[in-house]
Amino acid sequence: MTSLGVVGLEAGYVRDLPILTDVDLVAESGRLTTIIGPNGAGKSTLIKAIAGLVPISAGRIVLGEQSITGLRPDLMGQHSLAYVPQTDNIFRTLTIDENLALTLRGEAGVRARITELYELFPALREKQREKAGGLSGGQRQMLAMAMALTRKPTVMLLDEPSAGLSPKIATEVLDLVRSLTDQGVTVLLVEQNVKQALRVADHCYILAEGRNQIDGPAADIAKDPVVGEIYLGGKRMSAA
Ligand SMILES: Nc1ncnc2c1ncn2[C@@H]1O[C@H](COP(=O)(O)OP(=O)(O)OP(=O)(O)O)[C@@H](O)[C@H]1O
Ligand SMILES: [Mg+2]
């Protein structure tokens, strides 16, 4: 089991113009930690910096006991870390089966692992020979998640898996995200859907203007009207 830590992180896209300033975070082993906050807060930037996709100018990222600061994204898998981006997370012109097989790059036991993943995502099994571009939004997120799970990661980073989904499908997708923790996976989830995120999370961080604002047990944050008012624009907290 592996926890993920972020310490004093400064990161951004342009030199000397950091988007994140002095960000601290701990995603406890086998727990679901969520990051919420207004548009442009730096949530995606934070998760991308952890995944090695945004330059880090100060601070560090620690996986278990090991520093993975500035990790090369292609080496992430070796550290048992998987990242599911917000968009463009599947190959539309390939079939479901081909998308999954591709992530395993012809390694031994590919068929067995894909069969296991179809157990977890039965909707994908039914469509395994169809092109991924024809999937519904929810099924597409499930495929992206299945692709991230092929190498049995111990840490999963997910960026807004419920974006653009109906409330019913968003619930299904987030329940699946939650179920990853039952398998011992450490999950770090960025969400716009505050109510749903707090429903499935153990711990919550609120990020605004690239800085930590407040954090606490998800159940406490959900009950705190002041938090909702100040950082999430009031109405957001009660939105479905
Ligand atoms: N590729 C990029 N190059 C330069 N600036 C970027 C880039 N991506 C994001 N930014 C800037 O970084 C800031 C934080 O953006 P980010 O995407 O991390 O926010 P977010 O919290 O994920 O927002 P949202 O809720 O809208 O997804 C914004 O000011 C944005 O304009
Ligand atoms: Mg984002």
Ligand 2 centre to CA of 159 (Å) is: 7
Is any atom of ligand 1 closer than 6 Å to the C-beta of 192? yes
| pLDDT exceeds cutoff 60 at 92 | yes
Span 35-69, pLDDT tens digits: 999 899 999 999 999 999 999 999 999 998 889 99
What domains, with CATH codes, occur in the chain? 4-90+140-238 (3.40.50.300)
CA dist 106 and 65 (Å) reads 31
Span 17-25, average pLDDT: 97
What are the tokens at 230? 């100040």
pLDDT at site 238? 42
pLDDT band with cut points at 50, 70 and 90 for residue 232: low
CA dist 214 and 181 (Å) reads 23
pLDDT at site 231? 64
Estimate to the nearest angstrom the gap between the alpha carbon of 195 and the chain centroid. Answer: 16
The protein residue with its alpha carbon nearest to ligand 1, atom 7, reads 13
Mutate to test the pocket of ligand 1, among 13, 190, 205 (most ligand atoms within 8 A of CB): 13
- Cα distance from N-terminal residue to C-terminal residue, the chain: 33
Residue 25, beta-bridge partner list: 6
pLDDT band with cut points at 50, 70 and 90 for residue 204: very high
Is any atom of ligand 1 closer than 6 Å to the C-beta of 44? yes
